[in-house]
Amino acid sequence: MSALRGHRPARLVVQAWLGSRLVMALVAVWLMVTQHRGLTELINNWDVQHYVGIAENGYAEANSIAFFPGWPMLLRLPSAIPGVTPLLAGTVIALLASGAAATALYRLYGAPAAIAWLLAPAAVFTMVPYTESAFCAAAFWAWERASSKHWTAAAVLAGVAMSIRVSGVFLIAALAVLALTQNGRSKDRAHRLLRLLIPVAVLLGYLAYLRVAFGSWTAWLDAQAAGWSRQFAWPWISLQHTIEAATPGSYYAQMDWSSMFALEIVSVAVGALVTLISLFRKKWGEAVWVGTQVAAFTTSYWFMSVNRAVLLWFPLWELVGRVGVTKGRLPKWRVSLLWLLVVAALIVQAWWAYRFFTSAWAS
């Protein structure tokens, strides 16, 4: 029985969504009042500028092709409405999509997993115009539909996810493993795999566009390397570079980046642990979903953006959610501990939101 016994689980998920968004919004309001910053100045930081720029001008800037077109297209669609800018549209869509993603987790694993995801440290990226909310909504629902054996819907949703960010490649691989390991006849497995040609076609379509427009099949990889140092490196070299960046007194410490790089190492360790647990539990698709991402992050120049990618790892949030589930009534000390964890999570969220809103490096 849930530790949240006596309450309606769905209502608790809604309360967690509202509460976590409110805490981060209060950080923004506080900065607006105390530092006289405008809302646009708080939100339009880091990759948001790239997404808005693509939505307004297309792939006009160098290396902008590193960002898949699905999210900028979503930002552009509402711009036909007077007074609606891509920045405003992206913020509203991100907020709504975060609710859709939490709903999918609720359907998959229950209220505790959804609440755990809503309280994730880097949740600020699910309420600003980043890809995390929209991708998680599409990917989580794709997994929910596939788990329920509704593979056509799953493939379409995976196609949407694929259009938003490169992580869709790992989603396709994980869904393929799920298609092969799910109960059914060989003919059923073949039909499931055939449906996954939908998201594969989305990927190939973007690569073909880059080939025609920029003359190279590797244009996306080249842009990643040129703009973000995401060229191949052996895992131990990647770890070495990350440790150097995380070291106090380094060049990156002077820019206040070192703490984020230290957390990137923690996030990679968490991902490796979740992969091992998934393998132990014989959750093959889940292991591939997290494991392939960890492999990609650890074979780049350094560990970067893993703190945000943690939001995508739905097997992690299932495991975290299990902390709030038990048979029978929880002892008072454990209920108190859960509430302390919630408060701590909100404090970390507020700190992370503060970093993003003040243009500090936040992964």
Q: Report yes or no: 155 and 165 within 8 Å, Cβ to Cβ.
A: no
The per-residue pLDDT for 6 is 42
- How far apart are the C-alpha atoms of 77 and 201, rounded to whole Å? 22
The per-residue pLDDT for 7 is 54
The per-residue pLDDT for 336 is 78
The per-residue pLDDT for 327 is 65
Spans in the chain with pLDDT lower than 70: 1-7, 254, 324, 326-330, 334
Q: Residues 115-142: pLDDT tens digits?
A: 999 999 999 999 999 999 999 999 999 9
- Which runs of consecutive H residues, i.e. helices, occur in 58-196? 70-76, 86-109, 111-118, 132-147, 151-164, 168-181, 186-195
Q: Which residue, 227, 228, 210, is CA-closest to 219?
A: 210
The per-residue pLDDT for 89 is 93
Q: Residues 97-106: pLDDT tens digits?
A: 999 999 999 9
Is residue 2 helix, strand or coil?
strand
Q: Residues 328-341: pLDDT tens digits?
A: 666 777 677 888 88
- How far apart are the C-alpha atoms of 98 and 135, rounded to whole Å? 9
- Which runs of consecutive H residues, i.e. helices, occur in the chain? 9-34, 39-43, 47-57, 70-76, 86-109, 111-118, 132-147, 151-164, 168-181, 186-195, 197-214, 219-228, 235-246, 251-254, 258-280, 284-297, 306-309, 314-321, 332-357
- For residue 145, give the amino acid letter: R
